[in-house]
Amino acid sequence: MAELYGNLGDYLSFSVSSFLKQILYHNNKKSKPKPSKPKPSFVHVYGRWDEVPDDMMGEILGRLNIIDRIRLGGVCKSWRSIVKQKDIHSAPSVPWLLLPHAQNCNSLSFFSMSEGIVHNIKLPKAAQGGWCFGSSKGWLTIARGTQDDPQVFLLNPVSGFQRHLPSLSTIPSFKDFVDVAWHPNHITSFIRKIELSSTDLSKCIVAATFRLRTADLLAVCKVGDKEWRVFQGLKDKYPAYFDVKFHEDKLYALVHHMHMMEEEEEGSFTSYTLELGSREEAIVLKLIPNISARRVPYEDMDCEINGDIIIHKDIGVESHLVESDSELLIVSALMNNLFTVVYNEDEEEEEEDLSFDFNYMKTTKYQVFKIGWSTFTFTRVASIGDKMLFVSQSESSSLSAPDFNGFSGNRIYFSEDSLTYGLNTPDPIVCQESGVFYLDDDRIERCFPSINLPTQCQMCWFTPHPDP
């Protein structure tokens, strides 16, 4: 751990000395009465820079973001030991955007909007050779291995600490996926999302959704468990989970509204109890119908044909749960589905085999909904005020724009990035969309780095933290 902070300190330039002097000067000025005669001694005013009291260093750390905290820890051993204290939290930081990478890469790249630069962090040897497909609570989720030994583990790229999750082979439907649609790169398509309840893995519950062509699965485990526990509650034959989110000691799942018609009670959200080995470790699951994802019959779709490309407009296919000001919001993306169709005629049976030569989802707009828990209603929100929402297939969060220089509120920073294979569907549905959506005028700017690299890994938001 200490070696890592030292390496990062060497890599990232240290730039907090002027800030430190200001804090020291401010505290000395407040704590001491104005002297009758000025004391010119520089040492008496500032003290030794490597002997700053721990409580004062704690005050400084609480005002630093993760980057400056790492830089501070790279100065000397005494500062490094203070930086590693878990009870001293860093100031909030704008999430980094995880950039695509090649499978055999030795490092991962993150784009920092607040600094306007790309950070490269070297991966531990054990983490090299896999696909990074998401993040949660400051932990990256990485998949690798073969169909006989599929591995998924969590990695903190700041500390280098990693922990394995149960094998995917403990999920019964994974065998169906392997038998019909397996490809070495498809393992990341099987996993839709992994969500952690806490940054502290010692008391963390892990929830995950897995997708096939006709159904989604919800499973839970604890870090260190040997197998996933698959939720069997929904009676619908084809359940669909858009997102899952831990909020106030409960797990919320955003599901298709049609799947709840027979389950929901009038005036309330359907609840289940998921046991993690014993009733004492059970967690409450609440289902939220995604009212923004109503299926439109094919004949009623807004369709446009542009040359060989067919466009289905404003299809609601991606939705996210975002925690903001102690409440959950539903943030839904409207997309255009662009595709071309190829008809392959079977000479023997004189039948046409339909396939997609190109199938892409393009983001066009976002809608935000507040949940009325007591009234079982959903209200569309025209403005989110000074809030900034960060949404992606894995990590989603909310920040207050006034807390960060150069940022403005009422905006959604998005990264809709996925590669979906289904059973009996060899042609992937690709979505690689990132940018900023302005709620003021429904405008989209695609201003993030555009990199043409493999789609098996996902671009997503990542909020770094230094703890193991």
Query: Same domain, yes or no, for 106 and 65?
Result: no
Q: At what angle do helices 54-61 and 66-73 cross, to 10 degrees?
A: 150
- 322 confidence band (pLDDT: 50, 70, 90): very high
Q: How many domains does the chain have?
A: 2
Residue 99: name the closest of 79, 124, 75, 117 by CA.
117
- In this structure, the answer to whether residues 27 and 144 fall within a common structural domain is no
Q: Is residue 313 part of a domain?
A: yes
56-77, pLDDT tens digit by residue? Answer: 877 887 777 777 877 777 778 7
Predicted confidence band at 452 (pLDDT cuts at 50, 70, 90)?
A: low
One domain, residues 72 and 200: no
Compute the Cα dihedral for 25, 27, 28, 30 and give only its sign: positive
Residue range of the domain that includes 44: 2-83
- Residue 253 domain-assigned? yes
**pLDDT, greater one: 201 or 357:** 201
Spatial CA neighbour of 331 closest among 214, 245, 445 = 245
Beta bridge partners of 342: 355
On whether residue 89 sits in a domain, the answer given is no
Q: Is residue 430 part of a domain?
A: yes
Is 153 within a domain?
yes
Of 39, 59, 83, which marks where a domain is finished? 83
Do residue 208 and residue 113 come from a single domain? yes
For the cut 60, the answer to whether the pLDDT of residue 144 exceeds it is yes
Q: pLDDT confidence of 425, banded at 50, 70, 90?
A: low
Residue 320 has a pLDDT of 95
How far is CA 218 from its chain centroid?
A: 17
Residues 59 and 114 occupy one common structural domain = no
Tell which of 46, 61, 83 closes a domain: 83
189 and 163, same structural domain? Answer: yes
In a domain, 91, yes or no: no
Bridge-based pairing state of the strands 425-438 and 443-445: antiparallel
pLDDT score at 409 = 97
Same domain, 193 and 223: yes
Band (pLDDT 50/70/90 cuts) for residue 261 is very low
Residues composing the chain: 468
The answer as to whether 33 is a domain residue is yes
